[in-house]
Copies of this chain bind each other. A is one copy, B any other.
């Protein structure tokens, strides 16, 4: 039995026009719930890892619906604080081909963004837990939440947990300057750092020479250099970087690298016909945490994480609704998609 993984952050209502309709065309929204750390908890619970999500949600039916979406997927919700004014919302318009997906955030003043230290009893939360995960979105919600995050990290360290963080830079929440400062302080608690191909640059100004991600060209040596700098600056045991080549909004290539002990490994790459790419990074993080917890080798853990997140791109919603066996089948090489009957 693996130890419990605790994640902390915001879960939002995600409202999307059906299919490929644009915001100005729709007269309905599909509703799911999602958010970086919630997505991770759901993934892990789906992999059979005891997982708990900590946040604050309003004490109304919309908050209750969010809780249900977690409970249904076997995520522990016992330490979700209830109160505050509203649940955060994000509107998502799905892109296609040359038209990018669009997110309109309406998350200001959410219950968790307004929450205070006393809403969370970290000592109680981390009892018997083994891992703590958060992303760069959480401290970006406000100085109060950044401070709560810091407290959580401290308590997690005290309780002997491994701490992972996905840098997850969101330019609509804060500037690179602010992010660099706040995240820089939190990094000292972090063991495993996860990032996409742009985060290290956006948050810490660490970038490889010559990598032009906007053109989708990726350069292995550059990513090794980024991972090495991150490790040197913050003392991570492990750095994992996802590598997305965006052919267009419908077709992506997807892989990742892992760096530890001064050595890098690059995963196989998948070309993906995208159903829903939101939560792709989170599903990678969850796969990695699972892999590392499950005592897989570094290489196996990375391939598991990449396969898990490859599958996420084929699944509607933020949550990665796949099983360990499905991920392992793909990681083992069967991506043929033949009907299983």
- Which A residues fall within an 8 A CB radius of B? 15, 18-32, 60-62, 64-65, 68-69, 71-74, 85-86, 89, 91, 93, 95-106, 108-109, 170, 172, 214-216, 246-251, 270, 272-275, 277-278, 307, 310-311, 313-317, 321-322, 326, 330, 334-341
Given contacts A29-B31, A72-B72, A249-B337, 11 further A-B pairs with CB under 8 A are A15-B29, A26-B31, A68-B72, A100-B338, A100-B340, A102-B340, A103-B341, A109-B109, A214-B336, A250-B273, A278-B339
Chain B residues within an 8 Å CB radius of A330: 98
A–B pairs, 25, beta carbons within 8 Å: A20-B275, A20-B315, A20-B316, A22-B61, A22-B316, A25-B316, A28-B31, A29-B31, A60-B104, A68-B73, A86-B106, A96-B273, A97-B272, A98-B270, A98-B307, A98-B314, A98-B337, A99-B315, A100-B340, A101-B339, A103-B340, A214-B334, A249-B337, A249-B338, A277-B339
Cβ-defined contact, B31 with A27, below 8 A: yes
Cβ-defined contact, B337 with A250, below 8 A: yes
**Closest B-chain residue to A276, C-beta based?**
B20
A314 to B100 CA separation, bound complex (whole angstroms): 10
Chain B residues within an 8 Å CB radius of A307: 98
Cβ-defined contact, B310 with A23, below 8 A: no
Chain B residues within an 8 Å CB radius of A62: 23, 91, 104
**Closest B-chain residue to A75, C-beta based?**
B71
Cβ-defined contact, A172 with B315, below 8 A: no
Cβ-defined contact, B68 with A100, below 8 A: no
A336 to B91 CA separation, bound complex (whole angstroms): 21
A254 to B26 CA separation, bound complex (whole angstroms): 27
Cβ-defined contact, B99 with A311, below 8 A: yes
9 A-B pairs closest in CB distance: A249-B337, A103-B341, A72-B72, A23-B61, A246-B336, A250-B273, A99-B314, A98-B335, A68-B72
**A65 CB contact (under 8 Å) in B23, B101, B170:** B23
Given A65-B24, A315-B22: A98 touches B31 (CB 8 Å cut-off):
no
A204 to B125 CA separation, bound complex (whole angstroms): 50
CB distance from A273 to the nearest CB of B (A): 4
CB distance from A55 to the nearest CB of B (A): 17
**Closest B-chain residue to A26, C-beta based?**
B31
